[in-house]
Amino acid sequence: MQLTQPEVNDFRRTLLAWYGENQRPLPWRRDRDPYRIWVSEIMLQQTRVAAVLYRYERFLERFPSLERLASARVNSLLAEWSGLGYYRRARHLHGAARILVRERQGVFPQTASELARLPGIGAYTAAAIASMAFAEPVPAIDGNVERVLRRIIGKRQRRRDLRDAAEQILDRSRPGDFNQALMELGATVCLPSRPRCPACPIRGFCSTRGCGELRQLKPRRRKRNITYAIVQRQHEIILVKRDPGSRLLPGMWELPEVDNEKGKTWFSLRHSITTTDFTVYVVRLAGLPGGGRWIKMSSLDMLPLTGLARKILRVAGIIQSL
């Protein structure tokens, strides 16, 4: 994409004007507090805005500052993170908070290159925080922006070309707004499958206008059946802690898995994880042959439950929140 300087200026002005009119009022856009922006960016990694909206304010009430986050137990974070997925994000968030408090007196680095050294912060997130909180003129290229840039540039791009184009069009006086404008465009107009080109403010600069898409081959999804038992007495329920060394959901708590006996199902539900669609059956049992621990139901909110366990307990009416 070779634009003249007046064209670049026109592009920036047009996009920022559109963003000013059309941006969604998201809670992390309220101010430039690096802590609030950081938390939002980590939550938003591979996670839909709608899912984050439910959790964001509650998380900040529980951990209102970097210091409070750093002094919390990691299990508290995981419990609060339950259902959001990619639990390594919560562990990295905690680790980074401790590093910031211990080594930097709780002061955030103000450049993308320094931010990227913290756990859980890659190139995109570093640029997003640096531009939004500290106005550093660096392009933030996430999946949305990459798609938008590819469409604008047209055919025959490499990663290098994307970066060059992003550098060229970035508004250096308002990098945070500009980056968010590009992301907002990707999230609401320049959609992956059905781009709304007639509604696009910068269609005049776009060389493809949604054509020539190369859709990725999606991995086929597996199906699995699984059965969990709910075993209760008075104010307690049996839960199982996953192996802390397991690759999947290490150290998190779930319901005991049992063999499926036909006709015993209390209820069933569906649960999708990565490329597997689970059909989950839940049975009520009076006792359990295997292991597990009795957990007070009043303390369930404090425990790092897997998203599925939380979902089952909610459907069963044993917990209410989220």
Partner DNA sequence: AATCCGGGGCA
Partner DNA sequence: TGCCCAGGATT
Residues 6 or more apart in contact with residue 213 via CB below 8 angstroms: none
Q: Would residue 41 show up in a list of annotated catalytic residues for this protein?
A: yes
Residue 7 vs 188, nearer CB to DNA: 188
Residue 310: CB atoms within 10 A of its CB come to 22
Half-sphere exposure of 40 (CA within 13 A, CB side): 20
Residue 260 vs 274, nearer CB to DNA: 274
Supply the minimum distance, in Å, between the C-beta of residue 73 and DNA. Answer: 18
Supply the minimum distance, in Å, between the C-beta of residue 32 and DNA. Answer: 15
Supply the minimum distance, in Å, between the C-beta of residue 23 and DNA. Answer: 9
Residues 6 or more apart in contact with residue 308 via CB below 8 angstroms: 254, 271, 273, 278, 280
Rounded to whole angstroms, the Cα distance separating 276 from 89 reads 21
The residue from 41, 80, 136, 184 that is catalytic is 41
> Which spans of this chain sit near DNA (rule: CB under 7 A)?
24, 26, 40-41, 44-51, 82-88, 92, 119-126, 142-144, 159, 180, 183-184, 186-187, 191-193, 215, 218, 221, 247-249, 270-274, 277, 279, 306-308, 310-311
**80, 62 in Cβ contact below 8 A?**
yes
Residue 9 vs 260, nearer CB to DNA: 260
Supply the minimum distance, in Å, between the C-beta of residue 289 and DNA. Answer: 26
Q: State how beta strands 222-230 and 276-284 pair.
A: parallel
Supply the minimum distance, in Å, between the C-beta of residue 194 and DNA. Answer: 8
* Secondary structure element (H or E) that encloses residue 224, with its range: strand 222-230
Q: What is the DSSP string of 225-288?
A: EEEEEE-EETTEEEEEEPPTT-SSSTT-EEPPB----TT-EEEEEEEEETTEEEEEEEEE-S--
Rounded to whole angstroms, the Cα distance separating 303 from 76 reads 7
Q: Give the tokens for residue 271.
A: 């649960």
Supply the minimum distance, in Å, between the C-beta of residue 272 and DNA. Answer: 4
Residues 6 or more apart in contact with residue 162 via CB below 8 angstroms: 141, 146, 149, 150, 153
Q: Give the tokens for residue 113.
A: 């290159």
Residue 119 vs 292, nearer CB to DNA: 119
Q: Considering only CA atoms, which of 178, 180, 181, 186 is closest in space to residue 137? A: 178
Which residues are annotated as catalytic?
Answer: 41
